[in-house]
Structure 1
Amino acid sequence: MSSDKPGLVEMTWDPITRIVGSLGIHTKIDWAQKRVVECYSTSSIFRGYSVFMKGKDPRDAHFITSRICGICGDNHATCSVYAQNMAYGVRPPHLAEWIINLGEAAEFMFDHNIFQENLVGVDYCEKMVRETNPGVLDLANRTEAPHAGEHGYRTIGDIMRSLNPLEGEFYREALQVSRHAREMFCLMEGRHVHPSTLYPGGVGTVATMQLFTDYLTRLMRYVEFMKKVVPMHDDLFDFVYTALPGYEEVGRRRVLLACWGGLNDPEHCDFTYRNMATWGRKMFITPGIVVDGKLVTTDLVDINLGMRILLGSSFYDDWEGMDRFVTHDELGNPVDARHPWNQHTIPKPGKRDFGDKYSWTMSPRWFDGTDHLPLDTGGGPLARLWTTALAGLVQTDYVKSTGHSVQITLPRTMTKPETTFEWRIPRWSNAIERNRARTYFQAYTAAMALHFSERALAEVRGGRTDTWSEFTVPDDAFSVGFTEAVRGGLSHHMVIKDGRIANYQPYPPTPWNASVRDSFGTPGPFEDAVQNTPIFEENSQENFKGIDIMRAIRSFDPCMPCGVHMTVGAGKTLTRIHTPHAFSGES
């Protein structure tokens, strides 16, 4: 902590995430105004997958890229398989796609549950609030929970106590639930998080009635759990707005949301580029880009062609003037030199300088014809629900998008009746609403898993048990896979030359969310969301924890392995000094 003039304090949290410690947040705070005035997001590691994928057999791509992340590796494997299916011209059997959807739905349920309840929840638990906002805790203890009859906690203070790490009742219950969700994934794809039965052309899973029965047994436990979770979190998040007027400004930024769509409908998805706009709109998570509340496109071809990779403040040399791998797409549209298909990854390490280059994360942007927009994923669920709600295209027995909301119906379970929740488009894209959306999206994917189970069982009962289609690898091809990783939009862009990978660029949500100031000087979403965030913490400057900044960043569900990784070689010692914060699990 330091200051360059009275009232302006420099504060750094590095690392910040509770999962992987490679994200640094560097701020300048106007202490007199209790507001962040400047923020820089840094990632200190370089992975280089786009470098060493060159020359590999494209059939190995999903096995290799799964290792990009030890948290959402199956999302990468799935996205890679989608890109390979397009390149090879293969369409898996319907049953295989339902199985993949069931696996991905289980991953959403598992990951969102453990992050929301066991990591984000700690930011709002009784121990944390006691340290940072004791006045808020006093009010919480006196405030009746509006939905106590549904979740069992009489006051907001009781909810906060249930979130205390390791000790809280709800904290422990959520850990057990995440175990069931992980088992559901393994039933479908063999291993978590690096699937062992997922391949281009389908899956190696042996589809039986018993397989889906085992999945459904666990799924119904999760469905019952969600009938408690949704009203409990609504009570907690609504209370924060009431207890701290103005809290809607924490983590708030312009509504610039990106969703690449997910959970394909095998009745429509043929994995061809020429039909991608059509089958993309049939996904069970609707792709789209929302700008200032308006859904500007749901066309995956437009989304793909609008991608631009800018460098700006990141540690790379530009590839301007180098050969393009792809000049036009299959439909004859020109492909920009800064599109991922044409990207050359040229790392150039250097000393961190906030006036120049300071991070290994590039700056993906979406070009709308006029501006390079710094889209964010809303942590994943906020963008997914927002685009799906506005598009109004998803209509199943369990989930319906209305044009302004998403209705989620969960059937009767062991102790709870049929329940319908409705996520409504919020007024803000901020920390609280990103977290709230994550809760509703857990219910969304549970409901969708019921639909997928029914369709998969219908295939088995009808004797359509094939789960894989043959294919051949072409000598030359280029393709793209689109899906939603847990934290947001994920795309894999592949170019094949002479039967080998000539270029492979995976773009997970991390570089979109954690990007740095680009070549136009535009800050990335983390930076933008923290800048101008007000400080509500009651502690003095000397005891400041930075909880409001933590909540802003963690609402995006940051997971930095998908950013970058670097080795410094043998014999070099790095010394890191940072400001620790309460209950971070860091040292």
Structure 2
Amino acid sequence: MSTMTRTKPEAPAATRNLVEMNWDPITRIVGSLGIYTKIDFKNREVAECYSTSSIFRGYSIFMKGKDPRDAHFITSRICGICGDNHATCAIYAQNMAFGVRPPALGEWIINLGEAAEYMFDHNIYQDNLVGVDFCEQMVKETNPSVWEKAQKTEAPNAALHGYRRISDIMTALNPFTGEFYREALLMSRLTREMFCLMEGRHVHPSTLYPGGVGTVPTIQLFTDYLVRLMKYVEFMKKVVPMHDDLFDFFYEALPGYERVGQRRVLLGCWGSFNNPDVCDYTYERMTEWGNAMYVTPGVVVDGQLVTTDLVKINLGIRILLGSSYYEDWENAETFVQRDPLGNPVDKRHPWNQTTIPKPQKRDFQDKYTWVMSPRWYDERTGDYLALDTGGGPIARFWATALAGKVDIGYIKATGQSVKIYLPKTATKPEVEFEWKIPKWSNAIERDRARTYFQAYAAAAALYFLEKVMAEVHAGRTKTWSEFKVPDEAIGCGFHEAVRGVLSHHVVIRDGKIANYHPYPPTPWNASPRDIYGTPGPYEDAVQNTPIFEENGPDKFKGIDIMRAVRSFDPCLPCGVHMYLGGGKVLEVRHSPVFGPFGK
């Protein structure tokens, strides 16, 4: 069990001077993300944290009454970064509601497109955005002593990535001028081209439809994809060992750094890459085809795999309120009382949610954000768990590793790790990487998993290409199946957006959408304190995080806080704004006396 605890004060009556420091906005996804903190500089830790979102989007409201066939086109616009993930997930929900099964080739093409999206987005986020938090300029400014040590530390994998010292890696990460920074930008262009070959355009696909795809399958098309993929595979052979050296160095240079962004291991993964040999999109067989995914769905609690059953995962989802700007829908209509298997569906399940916005002034003692609080109900304990995605990859790896179900030659889940095989490329020999279940769910390990998952996505794409070529050579070139929109139906789609769990739930009545609720990873990660007072993952991970930055309050940059939040990949950090200066003392707290017999 991995937990974060606050150290008791050593002095019998320690005084805490809490300084308020706020970052708003940090990122933009579904609204603007703001992090509001109270920092104890004397004890060098974050005392309190609140995650806020200042914009209401309302997709669940204006989807009502729309033609169900338009769901993927509309919901793709939820995000300008991972719109294709939404389109794909919407299509999965449509396929179930419409009772249609795409041809195998159509499914493999979607898998290739989504693999390219993982490669593209993780590459540009990790190497051009997160990487800046570890670059020479940032480390010099926030931890000069760490920079000095980096200049004297040899990189263990220098022969694989070409950077002799850790300081050389940091310099290569400098924005715009760094060698690796620029190389990563070129790779993001290649991977975006790969995506467009499969899904038409980035980021809102033009070739994805319920029942399959409109992509024209040719040998030339897939060869163009493969040529770019192999360049990316070669790039990965440099990236993985380089990031391992960098992240391992931070543990060595700053003892205790594992506590930055650390929280209890509560991870959710909804699975990715459907297997067309098994997946028929029927709810009745969802357990079976969910377990056949090439990224295994799962809920991990305290390091233990609770379930890989998509039916149980679906039924366990609860949308709680608490600190959100909404009215309760307890007295609203219940759309779905039982699922197709006869299981009861909770009033707080997305199928039954009614969105009733209630704008009001921000109050951190009451309501303070537009984000609701998705939770997963653990029927074993009766707890509503604030699952996080860890930015996507760490949850995907943890669930897939423990489940041990994936074994496709290029990838093998062992029960405690995931092995990734990459073949020989132009200038580099074949290699096998192994992601091992870490000791912690923290900032560093979330970032490390993101690096390894780039290699995972590339390996999966190699496998999918083999399957695609087999279909084309056999003459099975159909990519789309006909369907009819039913008058009454329900459907659900489960997928992994780049940064984590993604679900779409739809209710159809009279041939129109009666209820629709998409839940991407950001509401899970950025959720506020719920009705039970449980903080959301950002809040939980930042609260009690130790401060290693060497600057005082007057020049404080909050780099440890930023690394903690960005490790979750809260979409793109398009801007960071902060109140600089000495801050202001909000209150003086006197800690209770801890004697030999307790309080």
> Which residue number in structure 2 is paired with residue 382 of structure 1?
394
Tell me which residue corresponds to 1:61.
71
Residue 279 of structure 2 is aligned to residue 269 of structure 1: yes
* 1:467 aligns with one of 453, 476, 479: 479
Please tell me whether the aligned partners of residues 23 and 560 of structure 1 are also in contact (alpha carbons under 8 angstroms).
no
Corresponding residue SS for 2:228: helix
**Structure 2 residue 558 is matched with structure 1 residue 549:** no
**Gap change, CA 1:187 and 1:560, over 3 Å in 2:** closer
Distance 2:577 2:503 in 1: 35
| SS of residue matched to 1:372 | strand
* Aligned residue type for 1:538: E
Aligned equivalent of 2:413, options 396, 401, 410: 401
Counterpart AA for 1:579: Y
Superposition TM-score, scaled by structure 2 size: 0.93
Partner amino acid for 1:226?
A: M
Structure 1 residue 16 displacement after superposition: 1.6
1:522 lines up with 2:534 in the alignment: yes
Provide the residue aligned with 1:483 in structure 2.
495
Normalised to the residue count of structure 1, the TM-score between the two structures is 0.95
How far apart are residue 225 of structure 1 and its match? 0.1
In structure 2, what is the equivalent of residue 503 of structure 1?
515
Alignment partner for residue 314 of structure 1, among 308, 324, 349? Answer: 324
Asked if structure 2 preserves the Cα contact closer than 8 Å seen for 1:22 and 1:560, the reply is no
How many percent of aligned residue pairs carry the same amino acid?
Answer: 74
- The gaps in structure 1 that reach 5 residues or longer are 562-575, 582-587
Separation in 1, partners of 2:525, 2:331: 28
Matched, 1:435 2:447: yes
CA displacement, residues 317-355 of structure 1 (integer Å, 9 cap, x when unaligned) = 010122200000000000000000000000110000000
Shift of 1:559: 2.1
Say whether residues 1:251 and 2:282 are aligned partners: no
Runs of 4+ in structure 1 over 2 Å off: 17-21, 576-581
Structure 2 CA distance for aligned equivalents of residues 6 and 74 of structure 1? 47
The answer to whether the 8 Å contact 2:375/2:385 transfers is: yes
> In structure 1, how many angstroms separate the alpha carbons of the residues matched to 2:451 and 2:580?
28
Shift in alpha-carbon separation, 1:356–1:18, aligned structure 2, 3 A: closer
Structure-2 residue corresponding to 1:579? 579
Q: What secondary structure does 1:330 align onto? A: coil
Q: CA deviation at 1:486?
A: 0.2
User: Which sections of structure 2, spanning at least 5 residues, go unmatched?
Assistant: 1-14, 582-599
Distance, in Å, in 1 between the alignment partners of 2:123 and 2:359 is: 37
Match in the other structure for 2:33 = 23
Partner of 1:88: 98
RMSD of equivalent CA atoms? 1.4
Matched, 1:113 2:123: yes
Aligned residues: 563
* Distance across 1 between alignment mates of 2:24 and 2:90: 32
Aligned match of 2:357: 347
1:540 maps to what in 2? Answer: 552
Q: Is 1:155 aligned to 2:165, yes or no?
A: yes
1:216 alignment partner in structure 2 = 226
2:371 is aligned to 361
Shift of 1:94: 0.2
Q: 2:429 aligns with which of 417, 423, 431?
A: 417
Q: Residue 275 of structure 1 aligns to a residue in which SS?
A: helix
Give the aligned partner of residue 4 of structure 2.
Answer: none
Counterpart amino acid of residue 548 in structure 2: F
Match of 1:300 in 2: 310
Q: Does the aligned pair in 2 maintain the 1:510–1:560 contact within 8 Å?
A: no
Q: Partner letter of residue 531 of structure 1?
A: Q
Shift in Å, 1:7: 1.9
Which secondary structure state, in structure 2, belongs to the residue aligned with residue 285 of structure 1?
A: coil
* Cα distance in 2 for residues equivalent to 1:407 and 1:463: 33
* Amino acid across the alignment from 1:206: V
Mapped partners of 1:250, 1:259: distance in 2: 23
Partner of 1:451: 463
CA offsets 1:258-285 (integer angstroms, 9 cap, x no match): 0000000001000000000000000000
Q: Which letter does structure 1 place at the counterpart of 2:468? A: A
- Equivalent residue, structure 2, for 1:52: 62
Shift of 1:577: 7.9
Residue 359 of structure 1 and its aligned partner are, at CA, apart by 0.2
CA offsets, 1:144-167, max 9 Å, x none? 000000000000000000000000
SS in 2 for 1:257: strand
